Amino acid sequence: MAQRLHLVFGGELVDPSTTQFADVEKIDIVGIFPNYESAYAAWKSAAQRTVDDAHTRYFIAHLHRLRDEEMTPVDQA
């Protein structure tokens, strides 16, 4: 069974209606988690810390969706 990794990250956005970061060098990498439940808990904690800042938003990226187990590394390049 494939591992389902999730990345939780966030930071200040240029505009709260977009997903463009104001400064990509200041993106907060919360961590990589082995399942959605633990990623969601980390996301919720980070989001609640910044609830008063409308320009700060956190996201969960499903890393397992970015890779294809059927393809070789050469095919993915």
In a domain, 21, yes or no: yes
pTM of the full structure: 0.79
List the CATH number of the domain containing 57.
3.30.70.2400
Note the pLDDT tens digit of each residue in 36-49: 999 999 999 999 99
Range of the domain at 69: 6-29+40-76
Q: Which residues are bridge partners to 33 per DSSP? A: 6
pLDDT category, 2, cuts 50, 70, 90? low
Long-range contacts of residues 11-14, Cβ cutoff 8 Å, at least 24 apart: 11/56, 11/57, 12/53, 12/55, 12/56, 13/55, 13/56, 13/57
In a domain, 1, yes or no: no
Per-residue confidence (pLDDT) for residue 66, from 0 to 100: 77
Give me the mean pLDDT over the 12-39 stretch: 95
Q: Which of 2, 13, 4, 8 is nearest to 64 (CA)?
A: 4
Per-residue confidence (pLDDT) for residue 60, from 0 to 100: 96
Using CA atoms of 33, 34, 37, 43 in order, give the dihedral in degrees to the nearest 10: 10
Residue reference for tokens 């959605």: 36
